[in-house]
């Protein structure tokens, strides 16, 4: 599943329904969270889901955090590898263009472009790249062979994600220190699914860093 930030999950649920996507009743839950100082606080979430029967292995939802101050803390967002943001999510599909209507319904027509690699979907935080077989060979070369079975079924699924880091040299040093294998292309570092918990993880230099 891929989650989007929401400021109003109920409005997102209505938008999903109004655009003809497969939606569901709003899902809300809350729990007690333990704080660093030993105290506790109630944190709650409302989720608005969207799925497509053509994508049985992928789902999407908007998440409204009702107590974001307990999560979005600068001290929680500093990482030794310099990671700053998840800048892209990789998907694969035999015919990416066939799913343009879903992403247009989800994010708007202006967010979706078709390239020679597949679909490029722009979100408020980064991109969703739905790659064809040619796109996989160009963008995630190690995925093309591993994803042969998917290409036969044609069903889109998630492959991995891209992390923009302020310190790509530091990231490389940490990967070397940990003994994690990666493929380097220019300054980008691509960790394969064996070391990435089933995902491709690409580290790139953040713009402006």
User: Which CATH number covers residue 199?
Assistant: 3.10.180.10
Tell me: do 69 and 88 sit in the same domain.
no
Tell me: do 7 and 55 sit in the same domain.
yes
What's residue 196's pLDDT? 87
Tell me: do 85 and 182 sit in the same domain.
yes
What is the extent of the structural domain holding 174? 79-205
What are 69's two structure tokens? 């101050």
Q: Which of 75, 103, 123 is the last residue of a domain?
A: 75
Strands (E), 116-209: 118-122, 127-131, 157-165, 182-185, 188-191, 200-205
Tell me: do 191 and 100 sit in the same domain.
yes
Tell me: do 60 and 84 sit in the same domain.
no
Tell me: do 152 and 98 sit in the same domain.
yes
Tell me: do 104 and 119 sit in the same domain.
yes
Tell me: do 84 and 67 sit in the same domain.
no
Given a contact cutoff of 8 angstroms between Cβ atoms, the answer to whether 103 and 112 are in contact is: yes
3-state secondary structure of 148: helix
3-state secondary structure of 135: helix
Residues 108 and 106: their CA atoms lie apart, in Å, by 6
Tell me: do 61 and 119 sit in the same domain.
no
Residues 147 and 126: their CA atoms lie apart, in Å, by 24
Nearest to 203 by CA among 186, 145, 194: 186
Beta bridge partners of 120: 113, 129
Q: Which of 75, 105, 128 is the last residue of a domain?
A: 75
Q: What is the pLDDT along the chain (209 residues), one digit of tens a residue?
A: 999 999 999 999 999 999 999 999 999 999 999 988 899 999 999 999 999 999 999 999 999 999 999 888 888 888 888 899 999 999 999 899 999 999 999 999 999 999 999 999 999 989 999 999 889 888 887 776 555 555 566 789 999 999 999 989 999 999 999 999 999 988 899 998 888 888 899 999 998 76
Tell me: do 94 and 158 sit in the same domain.
yes
Q: Which of 52, 75, 98 is the last residue of a domain?
A: 75
**Could you give the number of structural domains in the chain?**
2
What's residue 129's pLDDT? 97
Tell me: do 58 and 155 sit in the same domain.
no
Reported as a single tens digit per residue, the pLDDT across 79-91 is 888 899 999 999 9
Tell me: do 25 and 126 sit in the same domain.
no
């Amino acid at each position: 599943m891929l989650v989007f930030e929401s400021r109003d999950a109920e409005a997102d649920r209505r938008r999903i329904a109004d655009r003809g996507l497969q939606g569901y009743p709003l899902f809300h839950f809350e729990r007690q969270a333990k704080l660093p100082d030993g105290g506790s606080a109630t944190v709650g979430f409302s989720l608005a889901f969207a799925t497509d029967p053509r994508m049985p292995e992928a789902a999407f939802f908007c998440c409204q955090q009702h107590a974001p101050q307990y999560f979005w803390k600068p001290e929680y967002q500093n990482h030794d590898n310099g990671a700053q943001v998840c800048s892209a999510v990789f998907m694969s599909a035999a015919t990416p263009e066939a799913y343009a209507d879903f992403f247009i319904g989800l994010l708007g027509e202006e967010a979706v472009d078709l390239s020679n690699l597949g679909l490029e979907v722009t979100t408020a935080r980064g991109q969703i790249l739905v790659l064809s077989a040619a796109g996989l060979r160009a963008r995630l070369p190690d995925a093309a062979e591993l994803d042969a079975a998917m290409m036969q079924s044609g069903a889109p699924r998630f492959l991995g994600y891209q992390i923009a880091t302020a310190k790509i040299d530091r990231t490389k040093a940490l990967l070397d220190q940990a003994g994690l294998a990666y493929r380097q292309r220019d300054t980008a570092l691509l960790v394969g699914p064996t070391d990435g918990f089933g995902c491709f993880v690409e580290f790139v230099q953040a713009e402006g860093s």
